[in-house]
Amino acid sequence: MTISRIAWLFLMGASALAAETTATGNEWLLPNFAYRLSVEVSNSGRMPVQALATVPVAKARAVAPDFPGRIAFAVVLNGAGSAQPVTIVASQADDLDGDGIPDQFEFPVSLAAGERRRVDIYYSTTLDDSISWPKQVQAKHSYGYNRQVAAIESELIGYRTYGGFFLDVQAREAGSRGLYNDFAAYVPPRLNFQKGRDVLHIGDTLGLGGIFLRRENRLYQPPMNVPDYAHKPSPEMVPHYRVIAQGPLRAIIETTLEPWTIDGDIVNLKAQYSIDAAKTFVRCRFEAIPIRVQPSHEYEVGIGIRDLPNESLLPAPGRLIVTGQQNQRDGKIGLALYFDEKQFWSSAPVRTSESSNQAVVSKTQLKPGQAVSGEYTATAAWTGSGIKDPGTALAALTTAAAQHIDVGDFVFARNPHPENIDAESH
């Protein structure tokens, strides 16, 4: 059954039950599905939010057995006076640790400041089907022919990493939204193919959101991969990549460096990068784990962004923003890092061989028996995308990068009419 057919059948039934649904919110709208998990989504902030709501599957399964099953539909209950009492929205389940069991389930929702809304997630453990929701993000363990790269993108911007636990930027031309990372990988940088452009030179810097360790003022950067086109064997100690989710709503990649040998010590480093539909920023969760560290060794764990020529800085609590122009062809770009001041403190600039870098450092130090984990958000802006002032645009994203949707009040229900489960919906 196609998605349009499913949606049509659903809306026909929903219209007939509109009055009852608005009044009680308890009607079983999808008769083929045996189970339903109802959750409350809420916006505790002072600004409207349009984002993905994420249901932690482990918490959900404590109430709803085997959630989200083999197939699930998220149904948002609309407020009184809406043309339709409910709206079916796209959804996605992600297996973050690769054990074959989803760890999170997400769907888009728009909420006013302080608004709460109920979402019913109908799911089945016996139906075996997939729904072709419109794809709005992409993730790949390649960049064209180069398998030593991991790339993620939304229709607004693309990012990639090739070691060093940093991000490079594939910006979009003004008026050219789309998933173009693959296309750009085959076009020489000197050509303007009017879809996207590599606007950031990384070199020996921290790039965008690069992770580093520091001990006694000595900087340690994770090694970079050897590209396929170099036709050289890869060293044993390089980052490895895994695609966790390719969308349609959220793309996720994982980078691991296991082991990382530095100054006689052994550390495992892991990071997960994710980008959501209609967003330009990447969320990163990282963990540095001491495997064998000498008792006298303690490392700072930091995150940085490279300085730019003709630079302007827009410092503010919880963010680093750098703008500048690396060359005449590409014009002005901006790089931003958003962080929780409870986790990080702002550092003095960090020097690498090619550039200085703005940086923040974790308040927890890596040492024997003590791992360091953290979260931050990184993004970029480019005048060629139609952005007049990248610094102003990135400053305006500060609030959006920190926004989230709360999910709670889990309620499980079984289909009150099991005789309809194997019948066609009417």
The residue-averaged pLDDT of 252-273 equals 96
Q: What is the pLDDT of residue 25?
A: 57
* Of residues 340, 348, 337, the one with CA closest to residue 364: 340
Q: Which two tokens stand for residue 6?
A: 């499913």
**Residues 35-51 pLDDT 10s:** 999 999 999 989 999 99
3-state class of 225 per DSSP?
coil
Q: Output the CA–CA distances (angstroms, integers) from residue 20 to 9, 72, 242, in the order listed.
A: 18, 23, 47
The residue-averaged pLDDT of 224-249 equals 93
The residue-averaged pLDDT of 12-40 equals 68
Going by pLDDT thresholds of 50, 70 and 90, the confidence category of residue 6 is very low
- How many CB atoms are closer than 10 A to CB 234? 13
**Residues 286-309 pLDDT 10s:** 999 999 999 999 999 999 999 999
Q: Which two tokens stand for residue 416?
A: 């009150």
Q: What is the pLDDT of residue 24?
A: 41
Going by pLDDT thresholds of 50, 70 and 90, the confidence category of residue 128 is confident
**Residues 308-360 pLDDT 10s:** 999 999 989 999 999 999 988 889 999 999 999 999 999 999 999 999 999 99
Inter-residue contact 228 to 145 (CB < 8 Å)? yes
Alpha carbons 380 and 275: distance in angstroms, whole number = 13
More confident residue, 167 or 424: 167
**Residues 148-157 pLDDT 10s:** 999 999 999 9
Q: Which two tokens stand for residue 178?
A: 């789309």
Residues 6+ apart with CB under 8 A from 299: 213, 214, 215, 220, 267, 288, 293, 365, 366, 367
Q: What is the pLDDT of residue 187?
A: 80
Q: What DSSP line would sit under 246-291, residue for residue?
A: E-SSEEEEEEEEEEEEETTEEEEEEEEEEEETT---EEEEEEEEEE
Alpha carbons 65 and 55: distance in angstroms, whole number = 14
Going by pLDDT thresholds of 50, 70 and 90, the confidence category of residue 383 is very high
DSSP E strands, 146-249: 150-154, 157-161, 168-172, 196-198, 208-215, 218-220, 240-246
How much is the mean pLDDT over the chain? Answer: 90
**Residues 142-201 pLDDT 10s:** 888 888 999 999 999 999 999 989 999 999 999 999 998 888 778 877 777 778 888 999
Assign domain 3-133+406-417 to its CATH superfamily: Golgi alpha-mannosidase II (2.60.40.1180)
Q: Which two tokens stand for residue 25?
A: 């919110």
Residues 6+ apart with CB under 8 A from 206: 164, 166, 212, 221, 303, 304, 305, 306, 350, 352, 357, 359
Q: Which two tokens stand for residue 35?
A: 């189970």
Alpha carbons 51 and 323: distance in angstroms, whole number = 27
Beta bridge partners, 86, equal 77
- What is the 8-class DSSP label of residue 366? B
Asked if the model's pLDDT at residue 85 lies above 70, the reply is yes
Q: What is the CATH architecture of 137-386?
A: Distorted Sandwich (2.70)
The residue-averaged pLDDT of 75-87 equals 86
Q: Which two tokens stand for residue 112?
A: 């006013």
**Residues 87-115 pLDDT 10s:** 999 999 999 999 999 999 999 999 999 99
For the chain, give the percent of residues with pLDDT over 70: 93
**Domain spans in the chain, listed from the N-terminal domain onward:** 3-133+406-417, 137-386
Inter-residue contact 301 to 376 (CB < 8 Å)? no
Instruction: Give the count of alpha carbons within 13 A of 386, CB side only.
Output: 11
Asked if the model's pLDDT at residue 426 lies above 70, the reply is no
Going by pLDDT thresholds of 50, 70 and 90, the confidence category of residue 244 is very high
Q: What is the pLDDT of residue 425?
A: 67
Q: Is the dihedral of CA 343, 207, 195, 139 positive or negative?
A: negative
Element (H or E) spanning 57, and its range? helix 57-61
